[in-house]
A and B are shown apart, each in its own frame.
Chain A
Amino acid sequence: MNNDTLIPYIGVVTDIRQDTPDVKTFRVVSTEGGKVFEHMPGQCAMLSIPGVGEAMFSITSSPTNKEFMEFSIKKCGCLTTWLHAMDVGQQITIRGPYGNAFPVETELKGKDLLFIAGGIGLAPLRSVINYVRANRSNYGDVQIIYGSRSKDDLVDYKEIIDEWMNDDGIEVDLTIDNPQEGWNGHVGFVPNYVKELNPSINKTVLICGPPIMIKFTLAGLKELGFKETQVYTTMELRMKCGVGKCGRCNIGNKYVCKDGPVFRFDQLGELPDEY
């Protein structure tokens, strides 16, 4: 009998990094070492601890990383609480990759890119950012606007400071919601910061964060003159199968697991407002 996508592979957790008080990044390899499967930036995988639960997570590492996959996971439910409590060496089950990807090899190629993220919303965009950094000559200027509740809630802070900010042609603009001791950077919400920074409207935008942040940021971008066809986002809905059959992650006739999770805002606009 052929392999069935519902039967998972085994992954081994080889590193756990505490990113923020409620976000950990898990490094996963196959039992033989190396990646369990290849993916493109924006795609997701189903992770599970049998007996605890199975859920969909975006793959935060870039496919240009040939050694391992990473998942940045916020503690917010049954499975994620279990994952946060486990130790290095724990095996998990993994299946995928699922969904489409950001069009890094087509529509995004040669473009100036503006990444806008809020909180854990950086996780799926980090895959694209590091893919772009690894294929730097294929893309124009890169600007990253990233905000969180506090300095401590900025995911991948070390990588942002040590690597992204040192790259040529990458501008990183960080912001936190409220003033905090030891923070000399910008304070304020992401949507307002985007408007203040007034990015060039030639840029192609990739945005991910809490729904409320996306809503106000998109409105702000439109005020600045951006069109919906320039803006991509990635969606999250409840999923069980990951392949468009279990019937719960649809928005209209589109399944987020299969037709998404990446949508362009003009495409999303044609679908019913139920997400």
Chain B
Amino acid sequence: MLKISLDKLDKLFEAITASKTLYIPVDREDGAAEYRKYKSGMKLSNALNTVRSAKDFFFPQTENLVDFKMDGKNIEVIDIRKESEDFVIFGVRACDARSFTILDKVFLAEPVDSYYKNRREHGTVVTMACTRPAETCFCGTFGIDATSPEGDAACYSDGENLFIEAHNEKGQKFIDSISALLEDGDTAKLEETRSKTREILKKLPLANLSTDSFGGDKLNEYFNSDKWGELSESCLGCGTCTFVCPTCQCYDIKDFNTGHGIKRFRCWDSCMYSDFTKMAHGNPRLTQLERFRQRFMHKLVYFPANNNGEFGCVGCGRCLSKCPISMNIVKVMKALEVK
């Protein structure tokens, strides 16, 4: 497999930025990792993953959809869409890489969302295999192999070298663009690293979490479960879980009057919020129980019902570490599962 020495990563990043905008996870001042646009001198974070998911690259938290000019009784529609620049997201973990294929099922389904598609087409996803999975990780539950991430191209580290392989044409183009820096390398030590990681994955506390009880055919059974009251009792409805979630894709559309015209925005929304479904004639999800149930039913039952059994969760563990009341999808699955 092609490789580059880890101490030459700076050169690799410089070579990528010669032709494309590059984003890499870096350590923030507070120690947490986040994706930033690469500038010379930036160091790749050693963190297991970024605090926010990588979904922003294709489905940003806020984006301008269209503008309007109002003139008396007349309205002018201004299409402000522009072709996205070519960019590379480097170091995406296996869980987040899978989240893109889940988001694809929503945004690339007819009618195709042109905003999402534009960025998806121009973005190259270069993933990074995990070597130090954490106790909140459970990507294996959803059939994801943290040592073999998806993406257009994937990287694997053996502690000394970074090995790179392409998964598709886009990934191959990426490798071709940096081929001058790569050389053939022996993967013996890498295979050792990967099997060590696989051993860790097997021993993780959530390694035995199973999706067997869930899926599209359990709709009314789980909807009517008497467990939802207890599970949702302490939920604050803060929406943190949906905002850090790489697969949550619900959105709101709102207009803003700039004084010179109207800008229509799309922004992330959360089914955990009380006004999410509120309308003139009432609200079908009146209490936090219904809103809490909606989020988990969507990921564990509704999404698989509409997508050949695929679940709307990738086991990244962000909601486990960020929920202020320590409620999360794992607790929900354990409470509902049929043993």
- The finding on whether chains A and B are genuine partners in a shared complex, rather than unrelated, reads yes
- Contacting residues, chain A, for B264 (C-beta < 8 A): 50
Docked complex: A57-82 residues within 8 A CB-CB of B = 76-77, 80
Which residue of A has the minimal Cβ distance to B78? A7
- Contacting residues, chain A, for B306 (C-beta < 8 A): 253
Render B70-94 as a binary contact track against A, CB cut-off 8 A, 1 for contact. Answer: 1001110101010100000000000
Checking B112, B118, B277, B297 against A238 with a beta-carbon cut-off of 8 angstroms, the contacting residue is B277
Docked complex: B267-297 residues within 8 A CB-CB of A = 269, 271, 276-281, 284-285, 290, 294, 297
In contact, A253 and B219 (Cβ under 8 angstroms): yes
Render B250-261 as a binary contact track against A, CB cut-off 8 A, 1 for contact. Answer: 111101010000
Q: How far is the CA of A10 from the CA of B69 in the complex (A)?
A: 12
In contact, A51 and B257 (Cβ under 8 angstroms): yes
In contact, B250 and A246 (Cβ under 8 angstroms): yes
In contact, A50 and B70 (Cβ under 8 angstroms): yes
Can you list 27 contacts pairing A with B, beta carbon distance less than 8 Å?
A: A2-B112, A5-B111, A6-B113, A6-B115, A7-B66, A8-B77, A50-B75, A50-B255, A51-B70, A51-B262, A76-B281, A77-B280, A87-B73, A211-B281, A237-B277, A238-B276, A243-B111, A247-B271, A248-B250, A248-B277, A250-B294, A250-B298, A252-B297, A253-B303, A270-B220, A272-B220, A274-B290
Render A244-275 as a binary contact track against B, CB cut-off 8 A, 1 for contact. Answer: 11111110110000000000000000111011
Distance in Å: Cβ of A273 to nearest Cβ of chain B: 8
Given known contacts A1-B83, A252-B223, A272-B223, A245 and B251 CB-to-CB distance under 8 angstroms: yes
In contact, A246 and B269 (Cβ under 8 angstroms): yes
- Contacting residues, chain A, for B106 (C-beta < 8 A): 245
In contact, A6 and B253 (Cβ under 8 angstroms): yes
In contact, B253 and A54 (Cβ under 8 angstroms): yes
Checking A4, A9, A91 against B73 with a beta-carbon cut-off of 8 angstroms, the contacting residue is A91
Distance in Å: Cβ of B256 to nearest Cβ of chain A: 8
Distance in Å: Cβ of A211 to nearest Cβ of chain B: 8
- Contacting residues, chain A, for B305 (C-beta < 8 A): 252-253
Q: How far is the CA of A77 from the CA of B278 in the complex (A)?
A: 12
In contact, B276 and A248 (Cβ under 8 angstroms): yes
* B249 proximal to A (CB < 8 A): yes
- Contacting residues, chain B, for A77 (C-beta < 8 A): 280
* B65 proximal to A (CB < 8 A): yes
- Contacting residues, chain B, for A76 (C-beta < 8 A): 280-281
Distance in Å: Cβ of B222 to nearest Cβ of chain A: 9
Distance in Å: Cβ of B267 to nearest Cβ of chain A: 11
- Contacting residues, chain A, for B276 (C-beta < 8 A): 238, 248
Docked complex: B33-80 residues within 8 A CB-CB of A = 65-66, 68, 70, 73-75, 77, 79
In contact, B251 and A246 (Cβ under 8 angstroms): yes
Given known contacts A1-B81, A4-B114, A241-B253, A50 and B284 CB-to-CB distance under 8 angstroms: no
- Contacting residues, chain A, for B75 (C-beta < 8 A): 10, 50, 91-93
- Contacting residues, chain B, for A250 (C-beta < 8 A): 294, 298, 302
In contact, A253 and B284 (Cβ under 8 angstroms): no
Q: How far is the CA of A93 from the CA of B70 in the complex (A)?
A: 11
- Contacting residues, chain B, for A252 (C-beta < 8 A): 219-220, 223, 297, 302, 305
* B25 proximal to A (CB < 8 A): no
Docked complex: B301-327 residues within 8 A CB-CB of A = 301-303, 305-306
| Interface size in chain A (residues, C-beta < 8 A) | 46
Distance in Å: Cβ of B101 to nearest Cβ of chain A: 16
Which residue of A has the minimal Cβ distance to B111? A5
Distance in Å: Cβ of A73 to nearest Cβ of chain B: 11
Q: How far is the CA of A252 from the CA of B70 in the complex (A)?
A: 39
* A21 proximal to B (CB < 8 A): no
- Contacting residues, chain A, for B302 (C-beta < 8 A): 250, 252-253
Given known contacts A50-B70, A253-B301, A245 and B113 CB-to-CB distance under 8 angstroms: yes
Distance in Å: Cβ of B178 to nearest Cβ of chain A: 29
Which residue of B has the minimal Cβ distance to A275? B284
Q: How far is the CA of A254 from the CA of B188 in the complex (A)?
A: 50
- Contacting residues, chain A, for B266 (C-beta < 8 A): 6
* A89 proximal to B (CB < 8 A): yes
Given A9-B77, A237-B277, A253-B306, output 5 extra A-B contacts at Cβ < 8 Å. A6-B66, A76-B281, A93-B75, A247-B249, A274-B284
* A149 proximal to B (CB < 8 A): no
* B107 proximal to A (CB < 8 A): yes
Q: How far is the CA of A7 from the CA of B65 in the complex (A)?
A: 8
- Contacting residues, chain B, for A245 (C-beta < 8 A): 106-107, 109, 113, 249, 251
Q: How far is the CA of A237 from the CA of B294 in the complex (A)?
A: 15
* A135 proximal to B (CB < 8 A): no
Checking A1, A6, A54, A275 against B118 with a beta-carbon cut-off of 8 angstroms, the contacting residue is A1
In contact, A246 and B253 (Cβ under 8 angstroms): yes
In contact, B251 and A240 (Cβ under 8 angstroms): yes
Which residue of B has the minimal Cβ distance to A6? B65
In contact, B111 and A91 (Cβ under 8 angstroms): no
